[in-house]
Structure 1
Amino acid sequence: MKAALANGMNFWNGGEFYGPPERNSLVVLEKYLEKYPEDADKVVISVKGAMGAKGPDGSAEGINRSISNIIKQLNGRKKLDVFECARRDPKVPMEETFAAMQEWIDKGLLGSISLSEVSASTIHAAVKITKVSFVEVELSLWCTDILTNGVAAACAQYNIPVVAYSPLGSGILTGAFKSVEDLAGTHFKDWPRFSPENFEINLQLVKQVETLAQKKGCTPAQLAISWTRNLSKRPGMPTIIPIPGATTVARVNENAIYVDLSEEEMSEIDATLAKFEVKGDRYPASIPMNT
């Protein structure tokens, strides 16, 4: 985390439900800020929540429970800059959800509102009700959905930055997974794109990314992350903030290196992606997408 900040990575993303209760992302963040209180004002903290036992809970009660819990876990170390429902709750009007969040903003305990894993129609509806600071959606070389489903266009229309999660394709674009056996012990083994029947096909894209990276003189991870950032330079595109995860300082330092891609190089990547169809859905059927 210290290495990330040193490299200018100051948009930190967590979840109320990331990890076990005794060691979730908020616990780690609180411990970090206890040790480095001077860093509290240097980072923007965005946290997902509002997930109940049976799925998304966008009710006023669900929002208040979630934000209250997050603030409690931060233990006064840092203001909650951004809150987002992990998924839109189809059972609750957005007016109720955003009104509950606004009360926390009015109290000075929450900075702003973000959307997460939403469709273009949700974005268009949400901006009529509240100010949306960010939209967090999946974007990578093996998940370009937002470029064609209206999400990126909607964000550009309203000047809302896209927070691109999984820019490394859950790790596959780094070359970390060479076979299905490498997935043992990870939750990815149960995801459609990593299933045995799809994995070998999708691995072909990884090999092409590795070839492009070698040609550019960078690592596949650096190419993948930088590609998302370079998309921002194209007309009609929103600002894109990739949020790769890392487990070592070495990986953080690697991911922080920006690779400038010319439009010719971006077009070459476009051509590569156009020839390849990723196999399998992003998530198992039990996990809502594009809410």
Structure 2
Amino acid sequence: MAAALVAVPRMKLGSQGLEVSAQGLGCMGMSAYYGPPKPEPDMIALIRHSVAAGVTLLDTADSYGPHTNELLLGKALQGGVREKVDLATKFGVSFVDGGKPDFRGDPAYVRAACEGSLRRLGVECIDLYYQHRIDTRVPIEVTIGELKKLVGEGKIKYIGLSEASASTIRRAHAVHPITAVELEWSLWSRDVEEDIIPTCRELGIGIVAYSPLGRGFFSSGAKLMDSLSEQDVRKNWPRFQHENLDKNLQIFERVNEMAKRKACTPSQLALAWVHHQGSDVCPIPGTTKIENFNQNVGALSVKLTPDEMSELESYAAADNVQGDRHPQAAYTWKNSETPPLSS
């Protein structure tokens, strides 16, 4: 099994002391949403290969499966692997009424979810524990207050938020320092740059970019659609619908042309663009294949000039991208405000 050729540097994620690999591994697609679960032995081999290659930030959630992705990681972490890993998981999404997501941040749920994740992962402490989606019924101060207790009890080390608005981040950070905010950030998903990224930087909060390859779009363009199973959620997402996809493929073709000039792959180019956003940004591309993992790590060696950055951004300017990034905006930071904390 060939190791990745590029050394993976480490970075400080946030200002609270957490250090991670400058690129992480998103594990969701191994178990959920992107088609049927992949063979467990292959995924364990991939996870261990990533750790051996120097990628230490592993990202999962209790809702992936649900639960099966955490169980997978728990098996992969055995045999001395845990000590080499910065483990991130999430709580806050439960499923009701035949699979409809319900977002919860009440203290009892927070504590029960943490205990469940610790058990499935087979660990005594979670390095980075995110609120996956914001419960708009519970003041964020109440949710963070319970997480603060879990930090005090040694069950989690650092607190994160995912898909949270700038005001929610500020309110949370006032209760307990937030180490990282996880958000969708890629060449064609840049709405976070207006308000959320500056807020994180003002407060010293690290930025974890999920779907940095546009949910696989910048890996293979039109070929991606040919390979998706009927169970893959992307088949029903706005940007992958036929009327939008035809126009979006023009973006991919231009990125691909530039990648040829740079002697890299389009996925490496798109990922390098995220890396060049700053030393406080850690992208977590997901994959289910070792060869794709190695290619993703290779993005760390792709250097872009300011002119090349601008050229890339012009290809995927907001008015060129067709379709929303998420089929339901309620699942994103745009609807993550919580009630005020009563005095």
Same fold (TM over 0.5): yes
Higher relative contact order (CA 8 A, sep 6+): 2
Q: CA RMSD in A?
A: 1.8
Q: 1:202 deviation in Å?
A: 1.2
Task: Give yes or no for contact 2:200–2:207 (8 Å, CA) kept in 1.
Answer: yes
Is 1:269 matched with 2:316?
Answer: no
Equivalent-residue separation in structure 2 for 1:256 and 1:156 (angstroms) = 25
Q: 1:225 deviation in Å?
A: 1.0
Q: 1:192 deviation in Å?
A: 1.2
1:145-195 Cα deviation digits (max 9, x unpaired): 1112x1111111112111000001111110153375544422101111111
Is 1:64 matched with 2:111?
Answer: yes
1:220-231 aligned within 5 A: 220-231=266-277
Is 1:165 matched with 2:165?
Answer: no
1:7-40 Cα deviation digits (max 9, x unpaired): 321111001011254xx22111111112x32x21
The one-letter code sitting in structure 1 at the alignment partner of 2:184 is E
Task: Give yes or no for contact 1:58–1:92 (8 Å, CA) kept in 2.
Answer: yes
The one-letter code sitting in structure 1 at the alignment partner of 2:52 is A
| Number of equivalenced pairs | 280
Partner in structure 2 of residue 48 of structure 1:
90
Partner in structure 2 of residue 26 of structure 1:
70
Equivalent-residue separation in structure 1 for 2:329 and 2:313 (angstroms) = 31
Is 1:278 matched with 2:300?
Answer: no
Task: Give yes or no for contact 2:141–2:171 (8 Å, CA) kept in 1.
Answer: no
Q: Secondary structure at the match of 1:157?
A: helix
Equivalent-residue separation in structure 2 for 1:125 and 1:153 (angstroms) = 15
Equivalent-residue separation in structure 2 for 1:223 and 1:179 (angstroms) = 17
Q: 1:196 deviation in Å?
A: 1.8
Match of 1:75 among 122, 126, 129: 122
Is 1:213 matched with 2:259?
Answer: yes
Equivalent-residue separation in structure 2 for 1:84 and 1:288 (angstroms) = 15
TM-score, normalising length: structure 1: 0.91
User: Percent of pairs identical after alignment?
Assistant: 32
Partner in structure 1 of residue 134 of structure 2:
88
1:108-257 aligned within 5 A: 108-148=154-194, 150-175=195-220, 177-178=222-223, 180-185=225-230, 186-232=232-278, 239-257=280-298
Q: Secondary structure at the match of 1:178?
A: helix
1:20-63 Cα deviation digits (max 9, x unpaired): 54xx22111111112x32x2122111101122235110000110
Equivalent-residue separation in structure 2 for 1:284 and 1:271 (angstroms) = 24
1:244-289 Cα deviation digits (max 9, x unpaired): 0011111111000111112221122233333752111122227511
Equivalent-residue separation in structure 2 for 1:131 and 1:177 (angstroms) = 42
Task: Give yes or no for contact 2:60–2:69 (8 Å, CA) kept in 1.
Answer: yes
Where structure 2 has 5 or more consecutive residues not aligned to the other structure, the ranges are 1-46, 97-101, 337-343
TM-score, normalising length: structure 2: 0.77
Where structure 1 has 5 or more consecutive residues not aligned to the other structure, the ranges are 234-238
Equivalent-residue separation in structure 2 for 1:28 and 1:198 (angstroms) = 35
After superposition, the Cα gap between the structure-2 partners of 1:47 and 1:250, relative to the gap in structure 1 and judged at 3 Å, is same
After superposition, the Cα gap between the structure-2 partners of 1:252 and 1:26, relative to the gap in structure 1 and judged at 3 Å, is same
The one-letter code sitting in structure 2 at the alignment partner of 1:153 is P
Partner in structure 2 of residue 6 of structure 1:
52
Equivalent-residue separation in structure 2 for 1:200 and 1:95 (angstroms) = 44
